[in-house]
Amino acid sequence: MATSRRVARVSELIKREVSQLLMSGIKDDRVGTGMVSVTNVNVSGDLQHAKIFVSIYGSDEARAATMAGLKSATGFVRSELGQRMRLRRTPEVVFVEDRSIEQGTQVLSLLNRLSQERKEFPLEDSTEDAPVEHNSVEDFDEEDFDEEDLDEEDLDEDGFDEDGFDEAVNDDERRAKQ
């Protein structure tokens, strides 16, 4: 089994070599139909299998034709990798279409649309009924805290209230209970 550093090096080398093959080595016209780029390469721990993730820009027909061209060129790509790389055994190559860039673009457009809608239709500001929040010790007034509100009956066995907050039960009392 190869080390993770070696697997990463082989993965990067395969990515670089396949990118060069896509530019000039593969003569199949179907591969040139859509703009193709290698986004990632996953190599198994024993260096016997390589999944090559490709991003294809174009219509659905161009994507399908490009993937068919890549699948038919798998043997050629593997033999070229074997000649260019110095490995004991050349990994078996599988091309997988990577749609993560397209999905990321969709998410960004949704976020932009949501941002535009919030600018057009802002939410009403209802601070009158909102609870008071304290951000630091300086913001805390003694008027906000009533010791009468704290009953030991409301605390569980660890000294926490029902919300899970540690109230004014000190460590000595907690140790005495145990």
Q: Which domains does the chain have, with CATH numbers?
A: 4-99 (3.30.300.20), 149-177 (no CATH)
Do residues 11 and 43 touch, judged by C-beta distance below 8 A?
Answer: yes
Q: In terms of pLDDT, which residue wins out, 58 or 7?
A: 7
Q: In terms of pLDDT, which residue wins out, 82 or 138?
A: 82
pLDDT of residue 107: 92
Q: Look up tokens 């990321």; give the residue.
A: 104
pLDDT of residue 108: 92
Burial of 123 (0-12, 13-18, 19+ CB in 10 A): exposed
Among 54-63, 102-111, 148-157, the range scoring the smallest mean pLDDT is 148-157
pLDDT-derived band at 94, boundaries 50, 70, 90: very high
Residue in 34, 43, 41, 13 with CA at minimum distance from that of residue 102: 34
Q: In terms of pLDDT, which residue wins out, 4 or 177?
A: 4
What SS3 class is residue 145? coil
What percentage of the chain carries pLDDT values higher than 70?
A: 67
Reported pTM: 0.60
Among 11-15, 114-118, 135-139, the range scoring the smallest mean pLDDT is 135-139
Distance spanning both ends of the chain, measured CA to CA: 52
Residue 166 pLDDT > 90: no
Burial of 174 (0-12, 13-18, 19+ CB in 10 A): middle
Residue in 48, 36, 34, 42 with CA at minimum distance from that of residue 1: 48
